[in-house]
Amino acid sequence: MKKPLLLCLLLSCPVLALAATLKTPLESIRAVDREGAGNEAATAAWQELTQADPATLPEVLAAMNGANPLAENWLRAAVGVIAERAVAAKKLPVAAVQAFLQDTKNSPAARVVAFDLIQQAEPALAEKITPGLLEDPSSELRRHPVSRLLETGDEALAQDKKDAAIAAYQQAMNSARDEDQIKDLAKKLKDLERPVDLPKHFGFIMDWKLIAPFTNVERQGFDTVFPPEKEINLDAVYPGKNADAKWTAFTSQDEYGMIDFNKPFTMLKEVTGYAYSEFDSAEERDAQIRLGCKNGWKVWLNGELLFARDEYHRGAKLDQYKLPVRLKKGKNAILVKCCQNEQTEQWTVEWQFQLRVCDATGTALVAKAKD
């Protein structure tokens, strides 16, 4: 009797056979969802998965592609258990894990785990790979070569080799995407009297037209459709809260692109403001609008509402919200609604936001220069 073709293939390829045995537990873990959905099955599957042969690690890593955050955490933990046993026995499939890392079609999170595995098993190989990650699509993987360049610059500076230090810092700055590293590099370059254009590096939009004050009494302004949501007429004047609402030009002087409504309109409370700008894209392309804001806000691109948050003064940070968008070639209209509430404590006076346009790696997109 002839054996089925699949069985023959499995018997002739042990790794493929091992991977096939993981299909069910991997599917069970990927099915886990919020509020406990699938947890019982995932727990049993995880126990089975952690006993898998180390040769199957690339398949387990691959299961992280497209997984939801909960499933991703389960899989990352399983990889850690399998890898710990593999490293101790010197059986980690380093070449296969390296191939997984170098395939940028795999998810950034899974590729970061793959690099960590190589660091555990073969630190010298990880060091050899590190410089090639300087322009990697994963900002987290870029941290390694940027850190090495920072160390190189520090060593050169300690030896009073300022030109070599500047070259290392500048190369690191060009590739850095994480705020902490960028701040560190910017300070080092400024201390060496080298100019640093942080708004350009991040891609902050600095020039806006602002209009206020519309009302936000009893926090009703968030859902109220004020005139700027219906049309953009920069010459228009509208009845506002205790004053006419009219457009005014505003250019941020903040290195991190903060657009502060308090500056042109003073520290008002229970008010709503809008900010309008245009981004001229050289081509149609995918992009991200990234926003930081501690007020109630909404963002539109070309008249389409992207996202909104109706909460106040719970903290703000760079890239707090990442909004995937499709830019059209030419002018793209960006409208931000920013609501201020009734709280009067000192820590509630901020009425502001920061917004930048970048690609999925956090690399700034530069608008076409105006004619």
The region that residue 83 occupies, defined by phi over 0 for left and psi between -120 and 50 for alpha, beta otherwise, is: alpha
pLDDT at 20 over 60: no
Average the pLDDT over each of 26-40, 248-262, 266-280, 347-361 and give the range with the smallest value. Answer: 26-40
- What pLDDT sits at residue 15? 46
Mean pLDDT, to the nearest integer, of 115-121?
96
Convert the pLDDT of each residue in 330-343 to its tens digit.
999 999 999 999 99
- What pLDDT sits at residue 17? 46
Rounded-to-integer distance, Cα 70 and Cα 76, Å: 10
- What pLDDT sits at residue 37? 64
pLDDT at 74 over 70: yes
- What pLDDT sits at residue 34? 67
pLDDT at 13 over 60: no
Q: Which residue is listed with tokens 């990880």?
A: 126
Local confidence band at 314 (pLDDT 50, 70, 90 cut-offs): confident
Rounded-to-integer distance, Cα 117 and Cα 80, Å: 8
Percentage of the chain with pLDDT > 90? 87
Reported pTM: 0.84
How many separate helices (H) and strands (E) can be counted in the chain? 14, 11
What domains can you pick out in the chain, each with its CATH number?
A: 5-133 (no CATH), 139-196 (no CATH), 202-358 (2.60.120)
Mean pLDDT, to the nearest integer, of 26-45?
82
Task: Please give the sequence-ordered ranges of beta strands (E in DSSP) within the chain, or none if there are none.
Answer: 207-215, 237-239, 244-251, 259-260, 271-281, 285-293, 296-301, 304-309, 321-327, 330-340, 352-358
Local confidence band at 185 (pLDDT 50, 70, 90 cut-offs): very high
Partnered with residue 291 across adjacent β-strands are 321, 355
